[in-house]
């Protein structure tokens, strides 16, 4: 009997480890490559300084009195324009676009425009003013100005490419942050199952030693995860809903039949095992409403991620003797704990990225879980909130749940199965 349990536990554990390395090793190798690339990126300030230096180096040459560089700009919903980004000599005045400078609406023989072009794309223009009688432009001056415009066009092209790569790198860093956070769930499950296995093995010292070594390896993986989290600095770019979704969603096979019940079963089993290990009360549904048993579209598989995040937080931050569990209502799911009540002034702040409540300050974490969970809920047309006074809403018919902290995941029940 003990041997069968031991083999089953090892099989489950190695399945987790195998999945971990197959799916995530290539991504982490790519992640390290991204970090190396990001180290050689320059700030946009240096680009501006380079432009000014190039204009200055040409100043006071062959009668040139003014050099002004404009970049092409086209914001969404507006017409294209040319905005001034650098000039020689530098003067303290507002930098105007070509359309907003009335002096440029009158032609002059002492003024010429040189396009900044990359293949067929117009990146900007260089305006040149001279102080020569009759606007007599020497051929050598014209040649040099054309060479200057080509050089400036290369600078602008390189800067635009740098900005695009930077945005791409920042986006990938966000994905890495999300993956690091989500990987902690199966890693924690490995530790839980290993400890339960030790309990069941009883006096089988040789087998216990093997399991204990597995726990040590799990700790080592956690340390690697912590190192990756420190290397990957937070991204400040505003993100649209869905941009922090995992690259590997739970339901990799879009043709596989899924239901709310099938999504939640593995998570509830993990929660029950964790509760047994910690000797705390655990509560889960005994009856499943029809809406939890009907087939779902693949995109709703994120429900599993949301619930897993909420339960992970409950086990991490609720006191050791606090009950944890999940309940089903007419329109959604309640994930609750009977630990210390979350401060009222933190009810909304806990959903902000990076915010850590008073109960979490002395424990490990990134402040990403609830932020990500709410974004995923909105992505599928639902909502996630912390209930006040155990009240779901004014129309909810089901009996209120009498627990200290209740996170309510409201789901679009009608759309789930349409």
- Cβ of 355: how many Cβ atoms within 10 Å? 15
Q: pLDDT-derived band of residue 366, with 50, 70 and 90 as boundaries?
A: low
- Write out the two tokens for 161: 């490419």
Q: If we measure between CA atoms, which residue out of 327, 386, 389 comes closest to residue 352?
A: 386
Q: How far apart are CA 355 and CA 373, in angstroms?
A: 14
Between 29 and 375, the higher pLDDT residue: 375
Q: Is residue 272 part of a domain?
A: yes
Q: How far apart are CA 287 and CA 368, in angstroms?
A: 32
Q: How far apart are CA 8 and CA 282, in angstroms?
A: 24
pLDDT of residue 360: 62
pLDDT exceeds 50 at position 19: no
Between 353 and 360, the higher pLDDT residue: 353
**Per-position DSSP letters for 341-401, written without gaps between them:** PPPGGGTTGGGSTT---TTTTTS---S-HHHHHHHHHHHTT-EEEE-BTTB--TT--SPPP
Q: Is residue 371 part of a domain?
A: yes
How remote is the C-alpha of 250 from its chain's centroid?
A: 17
Q: Are 248 and 304 in contact (CB under 8 A)?
A: no
Give per-residue pLDDT as tens, 148-162. 888 888 888 888 888
Helix 139-201 to helix 302-317 angle (10° resolution) is 60
Q: Is residue 204 part of a domain?
A: no
* Structural domains of the chain, count: 1
Residue 341: phi and psi, rounded to 5, are -65, 135
Give per-residue pLDDT as tens, 255-275. 668 899 999 988 898 888 888
Q: How far apart are CA 310 and CA 326, in angstroms?
A: 10
Q: How far apart are CA 312 and CA 303, in angstroms?
A: 14
**Domain region containing 376:** 249-416
User: Omega before 89 cis (within 30°)?
Assistant: yes
Q: Is residue 327 part of a domain?
A: yes
Q: Partners of 64 in the beta sheet?
A: 130
Q: pLDDT-derived band of residue 384, with 50, 70 and 90 as boundaries?
A: very high
Q: pLDDT-derived band of residue 232, with 50, 70 and 90 as boundaries?
A: low
Q: What is the CATH number for 364?
A: 3.30.565.10
- Cβ of 230: how many Cβ atoms within 10 Å? 8
- Return the top range by mean pLDDT from 10-24, 91-105, 164-178: 164-178
Helix 139-201 to helix 260-278 angle (10° resolution) is 60
| Neighbour-count burial of 274, counting CB atoms closer than 10 A to its CB (0-12 exposed, 13-18 middle, 19+ buried) | buried
Between 20 and 348, the higher pLDDT residue: 348
Q: Is the pTM of this model over 0.75?
A: no
Residue 71: phi and psi, rounded to 5, are -105, 140
pLDDT of residue 361: 64
**Averaged over 279-297, what is the pLDDT?**
92
3-state secondary structure of 253: coil
Q: Is residue 140 part of a domain?
A: no
- Cβ of 63: how many Cβ atoms within 10 Å? 15
pLDDT of residue 94: 55
Q: How far apart are CA 398 and CA 269, in angstroms?
A: 25
Q: How far apart are CA 255 and CA 312, in angstroms?
A: 29
Q: How far apart are CA 405 and CA 313, in angstroms?
A: 11
Percent of the chain with pLDDT over 70: 72
Q: Is residue 261 part of a domain?
A: yes
3-state secondary structure of 403: coil
Q: Is residue 145 part of a domain?
A: no
pLDDT exceeds 50 at position 377: yes
Q: How far apart are CA 74 and CA 82, in angstroms?
A: 9
Q: If we measure between CA atoms, which residue out of 227, 181, 245, 219 comes closest to residue 35?
A: 227
Q: pLDDT-derived band of residue 17, with 50, 70 and 90 as boundaries?
A: very low
Least confident of 123-127, 228-232, 368-372, 382-386: 228-232
In the predicted model, what is the mean pLDDT of the chain?
Answer: 75
pLDDT of residue 352: 86
Q: pLDDT-derived band of residue 92, with 50, 70 and 90 as boundaries?
A: low
Q: Is residue 397 part of a domain?
A: yes
Q: If we measure between CA atoms, which residue out of 262, 266, 303 comes closest to residue 192?
A: 266
- Cβ of 37: how many Cβ atoms within 10 Å? 12
């Amino acid at each position: 009997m003990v041997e069968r349990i031991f083999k089953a536990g090892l099989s489950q554990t190695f399945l987790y480890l195998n999945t971990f390395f197959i799916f995530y090793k290539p991504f982490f190798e790519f992640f390290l490559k991204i970090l190396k690339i990001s180290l050689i990126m320059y700030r946009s300030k240096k680009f501006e300084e380079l432009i000014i230096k190039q204009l200055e180096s040409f100043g006071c040459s062959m009668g040139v009195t003014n050099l002004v560089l404009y970049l092409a700009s086209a914001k969404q919903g507006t017409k294209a324009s040319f905005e001034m980004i650098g000039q020689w000599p530098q003067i303290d005045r507002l930098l105007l676009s070509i359309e907003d400078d009335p002096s440029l609406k009158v032609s002059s023989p002492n003024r010429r425009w040189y396009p900044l072009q990359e293949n067929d794309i117009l990146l900007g223009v260089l305006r040149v003013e001279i102080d020569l009688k009759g606007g007599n432009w020497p051929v050598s001056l014209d040649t040099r100005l054309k060479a200057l415009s080509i050089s400036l066009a290369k600078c602008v092209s390189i800067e635009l490419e740098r900005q695009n790569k930077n945005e791409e790198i920042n986006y990938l860093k966000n994905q890495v942050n999300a993956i690091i956070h989500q990987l902690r769930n199966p890693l924690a499950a490995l530790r839980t199952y290993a400890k339960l296995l030790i309990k069941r093995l009883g006096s089988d010292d040789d087998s216990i030693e093997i399991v204990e070594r597995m726990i040590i390896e799990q700790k080592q993986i956690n340390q690697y995860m912590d190192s990756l989290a420190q290397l990957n600095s937070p991204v400040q770019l505003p993100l649209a809903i869905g941009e922090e979704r995992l690259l590997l969603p739970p339901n990799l096979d879009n043709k596989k039949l899924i239901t709310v019940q099938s999504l939640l079963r593995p998570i509830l089993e993990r929660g029950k095992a964790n509760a047994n290990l910690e000797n705390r009360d655990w509560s889960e549904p005994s009856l499943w409403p029809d809406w939890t048993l009907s087939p779902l579209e693949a995109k709703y598989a994120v429900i599993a991620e949301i619930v897993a995040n909420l339960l992970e937080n409950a086990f991490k931050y609720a006191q050791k003797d606090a009950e944890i569990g999940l309940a089903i209502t007419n329109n959604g799911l309640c994930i609750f704990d009977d630990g210390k009540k979350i401060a009222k002034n933190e009810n909304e702040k806990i959903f902000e990225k990076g915010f850590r409540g008073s109960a979490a300050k002395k424990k490990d974490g990134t402040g990403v879980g609830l932020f990500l969970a709410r974004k995923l809920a909105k992505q599928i047309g639902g909502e996630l909130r912390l209930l006040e006074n155990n009240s779901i809403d004014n129309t909810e018919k089901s009996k209120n749940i009498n627990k200290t902290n209740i996170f309510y995941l409201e789901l679009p029940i009608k759309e789930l199965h349409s």
